[in-house]
Structure formats: structure tokens, C-alpha cells
Structure 1
């Protein structure tokens, strides 16, 4: 990772740090009781994943990493590049993938757009089997409301963690491609 210099280093650690905070927020949804991470933080991390991914994609295209790692003529290069990563980074990326998969799996069954107002806790859905079609309100208990809310936050966290992890990988690949072009590090194998 000695090719990670300047702006690439800053961007890599920024995105990796956001991914770590995102995973901690997602893991907090597995704790019993109400959610502990503030909703605004989870939503903000979700929204921050898109500019980070955009910047990483631009870096990938400018540096040539996207062309070096994809395409039919470069089959196997991506796998060889992943094998060259330091062990700690491989473990970190594997942990992100596993935690995100667990987040999707545990959040998918109970995630509703739960709401609360003065009349209680509920979620609504569009009943397409009725004639005419209409919106149906389903009442929730307080524990069910918090479980639905935590499942929704868990899915948001898992999605942004995957985007942020991919962004950090792309930044690292872009730094390697840029270093290979300037002659300070070898090109991808």
C-alpha cells in the first residue's frame, strides 16, 4: 500500500472510516431495546456513500484502474489484484461483506416503513388485491415498531457499507494504477 499517497490516501482513509462507522451503526441495531445510533447519522452515512462512490469511480476512470481490472481481455486481473492486497485488508473487506450480508438477511423480513404519530405506531401498504385499490394501515405495538425501524436502519447501513467498501477498494486500485503509470510501482499483474 505504499502507492497510496496524497489525495488517494486521504480519500481511502475517509471512505474506510465512514464504512467503519456505518458498520458500528448497523451493528447497534442488533442490540435489544430501542435503536442506539441516531437515525440522522445512519441516513447521513447512507447519503454520503453516493458522493464517495462517485469520486471513487471518477478516480478509477481517470487513473485507468477500471480499464485494467475489467473487460474480457483482462480476465483474472481483478482476482490477482485482490490476492496481492495485504492480509488485514482482505480480512476487513471479507468482514464488511459478511456483516452486510447478515444485515440484509436479518433486516429483510421485518423492514417496513414504520411510522409513529399521536394515534400510535403503524405502517401502511398499498393493497393491490382490493377493488378499488387503496392504502391499508396496519397497527403496530411499540416493540414491533422499534424492530421494524431497526430493520430499516440495518438495511440502509448494510447498503451504504457495501458502497463505501467498494469505493475504498476502487480508490486503492486507482492509486496502484496511477503509481504504475508513473513508474514508482509495478502495473497490476
Structure 2
């Protein structure tokens, strides 16, 4: 699905990511672990095409036609940022409909314990409920690639499992799923752990 070859990134004098090689095959859930500042979010942003690496390349496999091969610029990516970033003027259901292009996503709202909140706006629900809605929005159009940055950080244990179940189901349907997490439970859901430290892959 996606290959990173020699990808590196610096911000001024700070080296956020040293040359990294990684493969993200379809149907796999991989979890990035490591301390804060180890490069997890930078690697996610590059894999999803929202940051351009200083060196190396990000290559879809098989190659997608009419797209630059040095970064992912295609639209079939579901993204759960740490900032959540729902549209505040829309209800939770409408946030999903916007991502899907039509009304839908009731199954995801139910799976993530959000059905009773579907008609509320983000400002009318808790931070954890907003985060689960962001996960539902990322998954609703069945994207080929799912990128999630700390998707359980605002969840209690039970609802963290709902989030991880939904991400696991996306991988089982054939998506390549890459998440960054400090939650040890996430590793148990993953096919592979990629451990980062000081911008380098330590294992995985």
C-alpha cells in the first residue's frame, strides 16, 4: 500500500526524523510507539501527505496514476489528528456526511457509542465524544489509508477499546492503518509495533 524510503525531516536545527524506511501493507494495523518527541507525529504527517520530507520518498504501491511519487497527495486517506478538528457548525452526523458525500455512517456512530449524540454539535459533547466522532469521520468513507494520532488519548478504557475495535475492523477490511499511541493496549490490537526513538526506528 505505502512505502517510505529514506524519509527524513528537520525543523530548523531540530532533527525530527532521521532517514526512515517503512512499509505499510494493505490489511495491516501498525502502531507507532516511543516517547514524546521521538518523531511519531512527524512520520504520520509525512505518510499521510500533509508534510513534505526533506529527503527520501513516499511511494504508493501499486503506483497511483497522475500523482507525484515523492508524497501522498491522493484523497483516499482518513485522518484523525490530535487536535480532532471537527467542523464546529455541523452536527456529529453532518461531519460524517460531509466526509462521505452523503448522509450515512450510522453503523460507526453506533459502534463508537455516539448514536444518541448524532444531532449535537462538537461544542455540545465531551472531548472524548468529539474524538470518537473524528474516528468515525475518518473511517466512514472506507479509505485505503487511515492515519490516527493518539486516537484513544481522551477515552476511558471501555471506549478506547471501541476506538481500537473500529480501527482494527478497517484494517481487516483491507485498509492500511497507521496509528501513533502511548496506550499499551493499542499494541495488542496491532499486527506490528514500530518503535521510534530520537527520530529513528528502533524496531519494527
TM-score range, shorter chain: under 0.3
Larger radius of gyration: 1
**What is the TM-score when the length of structure 1 is the normalising length?**
0.25
Greater RCO (Cα-Cα under 8 Å, separation 6 or more): 1
**What is the TM-score when the length of structure 2 is the normalising length?**
0.23
Larger strand fraction of residues: 2
Larger helix fraction of residues: 1
